[in-house]
Structure 1
Amino acid sequence: MKEHKVIQTRQLTESTFVIRLERNEMIFQTGQFILLGFNGIDRREYSVYSGEKDDFIEVLVREVEGGKVSAKLKRLKAGDTVQVDGPFGFFKFSPDMYAVKKFLFVATGTGISPFHSFVRTHSEMDYRLVHGVRFAEEAYDHRDFDPDRLTLCTSGETKGDFYGRVTTYLAEQNIEKDTNCFLCGNSEMIYEVFDILTGKGIPVSNIFSEVYF
């Protein structure tokens, strides 16, 4: 476990923010997560939000009501330090790992974090990103993605690209059977999308998931 200095924090919504930390020579593979915390006791897992080639580490944090760690993280400012452990996890990604280099990324909420890292690291790959949120303001840093490869699904208002849940959107899409599909977000979404994809003939071996909550 190391102390990392905060470079800056960026508020994205009232409850969601990005913390940028000094990298301190940390080596990670996009898709992995780190533990952030204080006093060696209170620690939480956050996917790395930045790319492998960035000279800093970023995480996307949603403040949880009553949460010990997220509330403390929200109060951090430039120059403060936070304890970092890792990286950990097996949701590792590189396009070179796959014979067919077509990718579908499906996220809900802050589950977009690893895909932000994927695209910052491998910006030229052939991908589609479907991001489900309640409100369009939760389109976290969508400017970092190719707009022609991105679909924002909003279930609480009609300001996105599709009004409704990601599951409803995906059920209506034609998805090539050799697509490599990555799912990140709440468990209910992952179970439902898994069933939709396999129902479209996509083999289980082409579906990878990371449960956030």
Structure 2
Amino acid sequence: MSETYYHNMHKVLQVQHLTEHTFVVQFERKEMPFIPGQHLVVGKKGDKEFRQYSIYSGLNDPHFEILVREVETGLVTPKLKQLKPGDELEINGPMGYFTVSEQRCLNHPIVMIATGTGIAPFNSWVKSFPDMNYKMIHGVRKAEEAYGIDRYKKDRFVLCTSQEKSGNFNGRVTDYLQKAYFPSNTLFYLCGNSEMIFDAMELLKDKGLNTNQMFAEVYF
């Protein structure tokens, strides 16, 4: 399934604005198969500019969703922000290997670590595999950036806020990791900016965890 590549036009169903600059675009799936964690290459119909976005929706959803943060000077995100139901997107994919199997979800404790919109692939995992044994650690500046927090079990979600005392932990993700304990058989998946990923992996290694337990995808 992961090796099948599609190129189609998909109609926009709705655009949900989460914050001033962050939004979810929902569009037709057209029964396209994918593996949770994969991404799509997305652009407005007729445009020459495209960007990669992790699939935000789950395997059982009849539609696709992507989580987008607007770059005001960007060539793609301002156009996506203005989309209306019925507009068409040009979609290529799915592609990528930042994936996890249902068997692995059930057989290992999994810690997912993200900053900002890097939470997108993990949202797809949790929606697709509701019985997975996980902890989600999400680093943001303010609590309003806790995208999709209601989709996670409260006792398995740690919100780290760096600019206000409104989450479960006041500070950066790396500050939380320094104080946290993890079983030795835990698998770690990291998605977000490269600085966080590098620092987090170094902290985990200092705790005696092996790099073959760590998997990462950088969001630019």
Partner of 2:118: 111
Match of 1:7 among 6, 9, 13: 13
Once the two structures are superposed, residues 79-112 of structure 1 have per-residue CA deviations (whole angstroms, 9 ceiling, x without a partner) of: 1111100001010112314784210000000000
Task: Give the letter aligned to residue 6 of structure 1.
Answer: V
Once the two structures are superposed, residues 41-91 of structure 1 have per-residue CA deviations (whole angstroms, 9 ceiling, x without a partner) of: 200000000001111000000001201110000000111111100001010
Partner of 2:43: 37
Match of 2:213 among 178, 181, 206: 206
Q: List alignment gaps of at least 5 residues for structure 2.
A: 1-6
Instruction: Answer yes or no: is the 8 Å Cα contact 2:105–2:132 preserved in 1.
Output: no
Instruction: Answer yes or no: is the 8 Å Cα contact 1:30–1:114 preserved in 2.
Output: yes
- The Cα RMSD (Å) is 1.1
Aligned pair 1:46/2:53, yes or no? yes
Partner of 1:19: 25
The 2-side partners of 1:40 and 1:86 are apart by 17
Task: Give the letter aligned to residue 194 of structure 1.
Answer: M
Q: List alignment gaps of at least 5 residues for structure 1.
A: none
Task: Give the letter aligned to residue 79 of structure 1.
Answer: G
Partner of 2:83: 76
The 2-side partners of 1:166 and 1:98 are apart by 22
Equivalent residues in 2 for 1:59-208, closer than 5 Å: 59-97=66-104, 100-208=107-215
Task: Give the letter aligned to residue 31 of structure 1.
Answer: G
By how many angstroms is 1:6 displaced? Answer: 0.5
TM-score (norm 2): 0.94
TM-score (norm 1): 0.97
Instruction: Answer yes or no: is the 8 Å Cα contact 1:4–1:22 preserved in 2.
Output: yes
Structure 1 segments, 4+ long, off by >6 Å, are: none
Task: Give the letter aligned to residue 199 of structure 2.
Answer: E
